[in-house]
Structure 1
Amino acid sequence: MSESLTQQSIVRQPLIQLIDVKKTYGSGSTEFLALKGIDLSIYAGEFVAIMGPSGSGKSTAMNILGCLDSPKYGQYLFKGAHVEDLTRDQHARLRRRFLGFVFQGFNLLARTTAQENVELPLLYRGDNAEKRQAAASKALASVGLAGWEHHTPAELSGGQQQRVAIARAIVTEPAVLLADEPTGNLDTQRSHEIMALLVALNRDHGITVLMVTHELDMAAYAHRIVTFVDGKIAKDEMNEHPTMPSSADLNMSDTNLTEVI
């Protein structure tokens, strides 16, 4: 085999690619171009923070990456497959199999227990009750909530509710965790604990983390920071010295973490 072919064979391919992606809302005189030709590559195992002011396009990009919206123009490749060509059902299967979501507002069902909330993605996937219960208990233990399975959201703190939301996101063993302002509703201490948990999931289990945040101190945990301005990527920089979680936060977040996934 020639040297050039050998080099080509070991080139790492992106897990996710956006190629000249554009997104418009409205039509005619009210048409608004939210994304103006985005090129972005994400590699397996990265921890990427996506930043930018309100209206910059970062949330639109995140929705497209999460298959919650589709580009108007351009290409979205996931593991080499053209996502923009998939049907609605295929989008749903991609989300269920490969993606986990964490939101600022937790989005937990108020009258159901932590265990039942975490089981929901497995219920939608068609797993039987025994498999759902075992996987949900394992995921809750992995985020430090063993013993809290039967508590409802009203009986949990904000930080605990976000941990339930993260357990729900990872219970399906996703390749990618998309976190949209995951610390936006938390105080400083709880925010750093949640970031320590995301760092541990990325570091110890290779989960690719894509996180939208307005907070520079939260983005500092990521290995790469992508900044959107006016529908374009203004900066895409490696963070050579990401924030390392404190020992206290790691102790909180690493509880039974070796048992997850």
Structure 2
Amino acid sequence: MIRLRNITKTYGEGALAFQALKGVDLDIHQGDFVAIMGPSGSGKSTVMNTLGCLDRPTSGEYLFKGVPVQGLDRDERARLRRRYFGFVFQGFHLLARTSAQENTELPLLYRGESTAQRRAAARQALAAVGLNGWEHHTPAELSGGQQQRVAIARAIVSNPAVLLADEPTGNLDSQRSAEIMQLLWQLNQDQGITVLMVTHESEMAAYARRIVHFRDGRLDSDQPNTPLPLRPEHVGSHVGSHAGSPVGLGSAVQEGA
């Protein structure tokens, strides 16, 4: 699904230039759950921004479903993000005086879908993250874990192929963190959503199928992992399915969808 070849990223120029990525090669397959780890300044956040088309590499090749992303203009990259990517951040980034339902609908509003379509999809996404009955609550009426569930519902409401999660449990206690990680794992397992997650916590990375480590702007290691919910000592729960119909990459990039 995703191929990075010799990706570099340099910030600044001349004596002040800083090379955040130094020739990264990375393949992401459909259905992967990859934990991206590394110390501060290792390049993990830069590579996540590159993968999510939030930043452009200085050099190298980025292919998404065979399409060279570096050749797309700003509007085409924006359409690619809207159609194929969902984003979850450490900060929940919910609109304060807006209900869970309305927060979840936002990506579909930007895509121009009808009110009926938005509401139906948002209800389905909220149900998928275990928030049936909470649709009309504002963020102030929700716990931190529930707010992050709304953020995940908002990320999956458009049926993305890839979910990018940047420290998704960073603002949560250990119990809520485990619940969110179980949810991400189930979305990956049940719906086949490819999950790319930046984390500095090994307990959270334990849910991934692969763990990649960055150091000094380079890919230091890439190891398979048996996800925690599949280990004999772990018993997990199940969430509902939230399936959608696929859309061709070429039309999504070229059209104003």
TM-score, normalised via structure 1 length: 0.90
Match of 2:108 in 1: 122
2:176 is aligned with 1:190: yes
- Are residues 259 and 42 of structure 1, via their aligned partners in 2, closer, same or farther at CA, if it must alter by over 3 Å? closer
> What SS does structure 1 have at the residue aligned with 2:25?
strand
Q: Aligned partners of 1:144 and 1:45: how far apart in 2? A: 22
Q: From the CA coordinates, give the structure whose radius of gyration is larger.
A: 1
Shift in Å, 1:144 = 0.5
2:228 is aligned with 1:243: yes
Once the two structures are superposed, the pairs formed by residues 113-192 of structure 1 within 5 Å of their partners are 113-192=99-178
User: Which residue among 37, 41, 63 is the counterpart of 1:51?
Assistant: 37
Match of 1:258 in 2: 241
Shift in Å, 1:250 = 1.9
Match of 2:77 in 1: 91
Q: Is this contact kept in 2: 1:48–1:224, CA < 8 A?
A: yes
Match of 2:253 in 1: none
Q: Is this contact kept in 2: 1:114–1:148, CA < 8 A?
A: yes
Q: Note the residue ranges of structure 2 that are not aligned, 5 or more in a row.
A: 245-257
Q: Aligned partners of 1:142 and 1:61: how far apart in 2? A: 29
Name the Cα RMSD after superposition. Answer: 1.1
2:193 is aligned with 1:207: yes
Shift in Å, 1:31 = 0.3
Shift in Å, 1:259 = 4.7
Q: Aligned partners of 1:167 and 1:224: how far apart in 2? A: 24
Deviations 1:16-36 (A, max 9, x none): 011000000011110000000
Deviations 1:119-165 (A, max 9, x none): 00000000011100110011001100011011111110000000000
Match of 1:232 in 2: 218
Q: Note the residue ranges of structure 1 that are not aligned, 5 or more in a row.
A: 1-14
Shift in Å, 1:242 = 2.0
Q: Is this contact kept in 2: 1:49–1:224, CA < 8 A?
A: yes
- Are residues 259 and 169 of structure 1, via their aligned partners in 2, closer, same or farther at CA, if it must alter by over 3 Å? closer
TM-score, normalised via structure 2 length: 0.92
Q: Is this contact kept in 1: 2:191–2:242, CA < 8 A?
A: no
Q: Give 2:30's aligned amino acid.
A: A
Task: Give the count of matched residue pairs.
Answer: 241
Q: Is this contact kept in 2: 1:193–1:250, CA < 8 A?
A: no
Q: Is this contact kept in 2: 1:23–1:36, CA < 8 A?
A: yes
Deviations 1:172-211 (A, max 9, x none): 0000000000011101111111111111110111100000
Moved over 6 A (4+): none
> What SS does structure 1 have at the residue aligned with 2:49?
helix
> What SS does structure 2 have at the residue aligned with 1:64?
helix
Q: Aligned partners of 2:184 and 2:67: how far apart in 1? A: 27
2:40 is aligned with 1:62: no
Q: Give 2:227's aligned amino acid.
A: P
Q: Is this contact kept in 1: 2:99–2:136, CA < 8 A?
A: yes
